[in-house]
Amino acid sequence: MKIKLFTSIGLLALLHVLPATAATLGVSANVTPAGALYDYTYSFSVTGAGLALDNIYLGSDDLSPLNVAFTFDGAATSNWSWLGNDTPRNYLQFFSTNGSKLSAGDILGVKFASTFAPGSSQFAIGLDSSTATSSNQVTGVAGPSVVPEPASRWMLLVGALALLLRGAFFLRHPQQSI
């Protein structure tokens, strides 16, 4: 019994020395302004073995981007499509339409245009729908975001200040109206 216990302890102690290879989803994003729009270009890849993805979820506040185009390993493809979803939070779903999967060494390219400015608070995660296995979640991905413009924030602040001043005036002079 002690031999099994010591063997188990020894294997656990050596486990951190062995290199771990886990398949992970990688995302590269590029955003460029194009007039009133922003052009978003993404490269999704898998490193490591054992993960084959047929669905990629990208956080996006724009659920109807323009001119969505796909490439697979550098060649244009019509075997991937997309949907915009808002439950449980806003995201774009890129999915294979013919059973092809993104696995180690492959690159899925996605390009689209949006009127939404970029923010770096979006996410990406992959799914193998045949096994219900998900990839790691990548956070801090640049994507279309609803971000108030600085001028809008200033106007909100001025409006809130005006309401406070009006309220203070009525507290001091309850009989008068503005």
Q: Let me know: does 46 contact 135? Beta carbons within 8 Å.
A: yes
Give me the residue spans of the domains in the chain: 24-147, 148-178
Q: Kindly tell me if the per-residue pLDDT of 19 is higher than 50.
A: no
DSSP calls for 38-68: EEEEEEEEEESSS--BSEEEEE-S-SS-EEE
33: preceding bond cis by omega (within 30 degrees): no
- Residue 50 pLDDT class (50, 70, 90 cuts): confident
What pLDDT does 34 receive? 93
As given in the structure block, the two tokens for residue 91 are 């995201």
What pLDDT does 67 receive? 96
Q: What is the pTM assigned to this prediction? A: 0.71
Q: Cβ neighbours of residue 79 under 8 Å, at least 6 residues apart?
A: 70, 72, 96, 97, 98, 100
Q: Kindly tell me if the per-residue pLDDT of 127 is higher than 70.
A: yes
Identify which has the larger pLDDT, 151 or 107: 107
Q: Kindly tell me if the per-residue pLDDT of 173 is higher than 70.
A: no
CATH code for residues 24-147: 2.60.40.1170
What pLDDT does 88 receive? 87
pLDDT in tens, 128-156: 999 999 999 999 999 999 865 455 555 66
pLDDT in tens, 65-106: 999 999 999 999 999 999 999 988 899 999 999 999 999 999
Q: Kindly tell me if the per-residue pLDDT of 61 is higher than 60.
A: yes
Q: What is the mean pLDDT of the chain?
A: 82
Q: What percent of the chain has pLDDT over 90?
A: 61
